[in-house]
A and B are shown apart, each in its own frame.
Chain A
Amino acid sequence: MFSFDLLLDAVVSGVLLGCFYAAVSLGLSLSFGLLDVPNVAHPAFLVMASYGVFFLNESYGVDPLLAGLLITPLLFVFGLVAYRLYYQTFEKRGSDAGVRGIAFFFGIAFIIEVLLILQFGVDQRSVTASYIGKAWRIGDMRIPFRLLVAFAVAAALTILLTLYLSRTFMGRAIRAVAQDQEALRLMGADPIRIKQWAFGISTAVLGIAGALLIIVAPVNPTLDRSYIGRTFCVVVMAGLGSMSGTLVAAIILGVAEAIVLTMFGASWAPAISFAMLLGVLAVRPQGLFGRRS
Chain B
Amino acid sequence: MKRRTFLGGTIAVTTLGLTSSAGAQQPPIKIGMSMALTGGLAGGGKASLLGTEIWRDDINARGGLLGRKVELVVYDDKSSASETPAIYSKLLDVDKVDLLFGPYATVPTAPIMPLVKQRGMVLIGNFAFQVNSKVGHDMWFNVAPWGPPDSWAASFLELGQKAGGKTIALLAADQEFAQNMALTARDVAKRMNMPIVFDQSYPPNTVEFSGIMRALNAAKPDVVYVASYPPDSAGILRAVNEIGVSGNVKIFGGGMVGLQFGAVMENLGSLLNGVVNYNSWLPEPTMYFDGTKAFFETYAKRAVEAKVDPLGYYLAPFGFASGQLIEQAVKAAGSLDQKAIAKYLRENVHNTIVGPIAFSADGERKETATLQAQFRGIVDKNMEQFRSSGKQVILFPAKWKSGELITPFEAARN
Contact = CB atoms under 8 A, between A and B. Distances in A.
A125 interface: yes
A128 B380 contact: yes
A-B pairs with lowest CB-CB distance, top 3: A266-B202, A226-B205, A135-B242
Interface size range of chain B in the complex: 35 or more
Interface in B232-260: 234-235, 238-239, 241-244
Contacts of A14: 211
Interface of A: 1, 3, 5-6, 9-10, 13-14, 17, 20, 121-126, 128, 132-135, 142, 144-145, 147, 216-218, 220, 223, 225-226, 258, 261-263, 265-267, 269-270
Interface stretch (B20-28, B35-43, B99-107): B35-43
A218 B39 contact: no
Interface stretch (B212-220, B340-348, B349-357, B387-395): B212-220
A266 B380 contact: no
Nearest to B309: A123
- What is the interface of chain B mostly: helix, strand, loop, or mixed? helix
Contact of A142 (B206, B235, B244): B244
7 contacts: A1-B219, A6-B218, A134-B242, A144-B210, A217-B238, A262-B214, A266-B206
Contacts of A9: 211, 214
Contact of A122 (B43, B174, B239): B43
A123 B263 contact: yes
Interface-central residue, B200, B207, B208, B234, by most chain A CB under 10 Å: B208
Given A1-B218, A17-B211, A133-B271, 4 more contacts: A17-B207, A263-B215, A266-B212, A267-B200
Interface of B: 39-40, 42-43, 174, 200-203, 205-208, 210-212, 214-215, 218-219, 230-231, 234-235, 238-239, 241-244, 261, 263-264, 267, 271, 380-381
Contacts of A225: 205
B218 A17 contact: no
A266 B210 contact: no
A10 B211 contact: yes
Given A13-B208, A144-B210, A266-B201, A125 B267 contact: yes
Nearest to A218: B234
Given A269-B203, A270-B203, A128 B381 contact: yes
A42 B239 CA distance: 27
A132 B208 CA distance: 13
Given A133-B238, A144-B210, A267 B215 contact: no
Contacts of B200: 265-267
B162 to A, nearest CB: 28
Contacts of A223: 231
Nearest to B217: A6
Contacts of A216: 207-208
Given A13-B208, A266-B206, A267-B203, A124 B214 contact: no
Contacts of A126: 234, 267
Nearest to A271: B203
Given A3-B218, A10-B211, A13-B210, A122 B203 contact: no
Contacts of A5: 218
Given A265-B200, A267-B202, A13 B211 contact: yes
A15 to B, nearest CB: 12
B203 A218 contact: no
